[in-house]
Amino acid sequence: MTPIKSRTQVAIIGGGPSGLLLGQLLQRQGIDNVILEARSGDYVLGRIRAGVLEEITVRKLREAGCAARLEAEGLVHHGTGISFGGTLHRIDIHALTAGKVVTVYGQTEVTRDLMYARAQSGGITAYEASDVALHDLQGSAPRVTYQQGGQRHELACDFIAGCDGYHGVSRRSIPAQSLRTYERVYPFGWLGVLADVPALPELVYANHERGFALCSMRSPTRSRYYVQCPVDEDLSAWPDSRFWDELLQRVDPLTASRIVTGPSIEKSIAPLRSFVAEPLRYNRLFLVGDAAHIVPPTGAKGLNLAASDVHYLSEALFEQYLERSMAGIEDYSRKALSRIWKAERFSWWMTSLLHRFPEQDSFSLALQRAELDYLMSSETAQRLLAENYVGLPV
């Protein structure tokens, strides 16, 4: 079968939020791009993900012209709670970071806004693109082939942005000897429930002898709650009544009194992992977002790290196309990895601080409690947490 041939400046593999955000930023600078997504648009929108946005993510969405609904509906949070020892402790992130905040706005809504902007701009997104393969990566003229609607396509380009997630083709296309990976798999998961019940005013993270819990939200009337569980737990063993009973046991009495329970509209178990691949550049192929790194969700860094990757890469591509300089492209991996590893450290620290590990002995548990006590007694320690929570500078 003779392929249909076309050309673009930047081929973006993956139509999730990182690929869509990169595409929209490039489009607004007149840089032609095509997005290839293996799934349907409805499938992409059906993914349930977190939505605690750092200021860098909000800023990039504004630059992409996609922040109107976020600014109207997003929940600006000035602090967060940590529950342990039967008491709720509040960390005033706004005061501790000289006025910085986080914004709660679901990743599904971010994706919806980016999809709408892409359609309005006339940008091309090829959904249900199967058998995607990357070619000629060692030269100056890479190509992407894929199948769509029973027809073979070949897309020539200048650069390829791999925004296709942990299981995508982009990272797998880099020769093994050119890539180094780091990974830690955690011995538990998060059982999450989504429910249309009134949300708490701020996120609450809980450390309890029965395990970690998190009270989060998507909107004032839609809440997202989690409890730590074995990663191989049977979801059918968790009817709503058991979940709510367990959650209420793990938080302090004040938080428990504020939680409104109700029927779940979605329930799932997510494993926790830390992962980094480096470098993030292989000649004219770049790794972005989950294709390059995974963080446990405890620090709320996944989507935000993807946005900072997009920031560095979009600026590098602007520099290349508008100023004919490769300096930004050559420095993309170093800049992005510096921020990635700091976020990995913070996410690992938050996970270690708040969860119960199978191998923990009485000494380890006492140290964990001492760490929590110190955090709540030291403004300096709280400032370090707040600084990382709102996002380090890019």
Is position 79 within any domain? no
Is position 260 within any domain? no
User: Are 80 and 389 in contact, with CB atoms under 8 Å apart?
Assistant: yes
- What are the φ and ψ backbone dihedral angles of 66, each rounded to 5 degrees? -125, 25
Q: How far, in Å, CA of 317 to CA of 325, rounded?
A: 9
| 170-215 pLDDT, tens digit each | 999 999 999 999 999 999 999 999 999 999 999 999 999 999 999 9
User: What domain count does the chain have?
Assistant: 1
Is position 98 within any domain? no
Is position 142 within any domain? yes
Is the preceding omega at residue 279 within 30 degrees of 0, hence cis? yes
Q: Has this prediction a pTM greater than 0.75?
A: yes
Tell me the three state secondary structure of residue 100: coil
Find the mean pLDDT for residues 215-221.
94
Per-residue pLDDT, 105: 96
Is position 377 within any domain? no
Q: Which amino acids are annotated catalytic?
A: 77, 205, 297, 301, 389
| 292-351 pLDDT, tens digit each | 999 999 999 999 999 999 999 999 999 999 999 999 999 999 999 999 999 999 999 999
CATH number at residue 13: 3.50.50.60
Q: How far, in Å, CA of 350 to CA of 338, rounded?
A: 19
Is position 195 within any domain? no
The number of residues making up the chain comes to: 394
Per-residue pLDDT, 49: 73
Closest CA to 128 of 47, 48, 43, 49: 43
Residue type, 379: E
Domain around 158: 4-53+105-182+273-350
User: In whole numbers, what is the pLDDT of the chain averaged over residues?
Assistant: 97
Is position 363 within any domain? no
Structure tokens at 72: 């109207």
Is position 226 within any domain? no
| 32-62 pLDDT, tens digit each | 999 999 999 999 998 767 789 999 999 999 9
